[in-house]
A and B are shown apart, each in its own frame.
Chain A
Amino acid sequence: MAEIPRGVLIIVLVLIAGIIDAVLFDPMDLPGSPPNLLLLVVAAIALVLGPVGGAVTGFFAGLAADVLPPADHLIGRYALVLCLAGYLVGLARDEARDSVFFALAAVAVAAAVATVLYGALGGILGDGRVDTHAILSGVPFSILYDVLLAPFVVPWVMSLARRAAPQVTRT
């Protein structure tokens, strides 16, 4: 397992997460914003790599989500959102190493930020489907779903990412 380059692992994980989001969580029509598996993968990797790795991973993961088929928004919008989310979660890497609660809190913050930022960007860019009420009512749900889903996703992705680490610097 240790032979797999981290970059390849991350790409594979991100694509799987993005596809699962697209075919499983988004169509479920749950109340509020749907669960965001991609965000959880980005957060987990950010918890391993720190802010820079989180931001880069988030950027490219968001870019992937921007072009994955059902996506119908400006390319770069989700890249910006996940980039910032990955950066924020990466900032909490050292604290989250000791406290599961802190890690979950970081995921919750990332979920809230992602939802609000994505919606706000839509508002700025003139996306008619976005309105303030929808954003604000969606935030609690996205936090709830992602925090509920995190214990099943984040530790697993983190351990994969750690084991796949060949020589990347731990700044």
Chain B
Amino acid sequence: MRDSRRTRLVLALLVLTAFTLITLDYRSRGGGFFGSIRRTAASVFGPVERAAADVVRPVRHAVQAVGSIGSNHKKVTDLQRQVSALQQQLRIQPYDTARVTELEQLLHVSAVGQYKLLYAQVIAVSATDGFEWTATIDAGSRDGLKENMTVLNGDGLVGRLKIVGTSTSTVLLAIDPEFNVGVRLPNNGMGVVSGHGHAAMSLMMLDPTARVKVGDGLVTQGSLDQTPFVWGVPVGSVISATNPLTGDVQTGSVQPFVDFRALDLVGVVVEPPRVDPRQALLAPPLPTITVTTTATVTATATVTASPAFSFTPSSSTSTSATGKPSTSRTPTPTPKPTSKPSVTPTSTVKPSVTPSVSPSPGKPSG
């Protein structure tokens, strides 16, 4: 009953019709009667379909979202990765800016002080807090480093190389209790600065007649053969000083210029300057280049201009070179034994390495 002759006949007829249609359409090649049927159907159903598409579009997107969960997940993962990478860049940017600043400061040190520096990154700071103040930098013997080289950054003295490995080195920081460095005062008096951890560094004058004032900036005296300390590196500023009796040695405390809690980029002095930069680096490097250059020029000029007599007051040098620090220390609480602040007749202008406990020509030290 279900597959009778009649049904087969109907089916055969329909199939035949379909084949006829196909053949006719095939021969007319999209034109003729069938072409017009298509065009009519398109103009009738097209708008209907467009309206229907507007209705079902949300459904379609929803179904599509379900259907493409896998690829969407991948897309989401990719985007998340991108976002986190960009966020990381964004987070890093301030550090990059800070790094640029540090590099500029180091370049300033290198340019003004005529040091030849090898730049290195602090990669670790000693964890044995309070006992050992050391840091590891990412440069070593293969970069040409040797033990007892001076390490500095844009602010001043960082320390000296203690252990030099192949690719890393250990820096004994200037605040390590074992650390001592000879310093020179603006008036060329000399002292020794020792580290005391995060407490202020201590200063002990070598010369009983030498006196120091609060606010004085100290630079390294320079060791014999410039090892371990090259000359002219800013160490710190005096924050307190005793007022000893005549003939006693003055002591004090010093605030280092370097922030040892935030060490990042440092320079290792691989070649000391041929000429003592003196106090040139104590001048604040920030405002304009011209200030620092004039300071350097005058310093070198006087060195060359006064080769003969070693006791020249060389007031021009002192005033210009120490001019910047001295302006900032106007309200000095100390009783000013050395009045005439910056015109003090300095001894031994020549960049001598020898400590030369100076004859101190008649300074009215109080």
* A contact set with B: CB distance below 8 Å: 19-20, 22-24, 27-30, 50-52, 55-56, 59, 62-63, 67-69, 71, 74-77, 79-80, 83-84, 87, 90-91, 93-94, 121, 125, 171
Contacts and interface: CB of A to CB of B under 8 A. Distances in A.
A46 B142 CA distance: 87
Contact of B18 (A23, A59, A90, A171): A59
B243 to A, nearest CB: 89
A55 B11 contact: yes
Contacts of B111: none
Interface stretch (B20-28, B252-260, B283-291): B20-28
Closest 3 pairs between A and B when the two form their complex, measured CB to CB = A76-B21, A80-B18, A67-B41
Contacts of B10: 52, 55-56
B38 A29 contact: no
A28 B25 contact: no
B22 A74 contact: yes
A171 B22 CA distance: 31
Given A28-B67, A75-B25, 15 more contacts: A19-B45, A52-B6, A55-B10, A59-B17, A59-B18, A63-B21, A69-B42, A74-B26, A76-B18, A83-B15, A87-B11, A91-B3, A125-B26, A171-B1, A171-B4
Contact of B25 (A27, A52, A69, A74): A74
A75 B14 contact: no
Interface residues of B, number: 36
B11 A75 contact: no
B67 A75 contact: no
B49 interface: yes
A28 B10 CA distance: 36
Interface stretch (B53-61, B89-97, B102-110, B191-199): B53-61
B21 A83 contact: no
A75 B33 CA distance: 11
B37 interface: yes
22 contacts: A19-B49, A23-B56, A24-B56, A24-B59, A52-B6, A52-B7, A55-B11, A62-B18, A68-B41, A69-B42, A74-B22, A75-B21, A75-B25, A76-B17, A76-B25, A77-B18, A77-B22, A80-B15, A83-B15, A87-B11, A121-B22, A125-B22
Contacts of A121: 22
* Main secondary structure on B side of the interface with A: helix
A91 B53 CA distance: 35
B45 A76 contact: no
Contacts of A74: 21-22, 25-26
A80 B12 CA distance: 10
A75 B45 contact: no
Contacts of B45: 19, 67-69
B49 A22 contact: yes
B48 interface: yes
Given A55-B10, A69-B46, A125-B26, A23 B21 contact: no
B52 A51 contact: no
Contact of A24 (B14, B15, B19, B60): B60
A19 B52 contact: yes
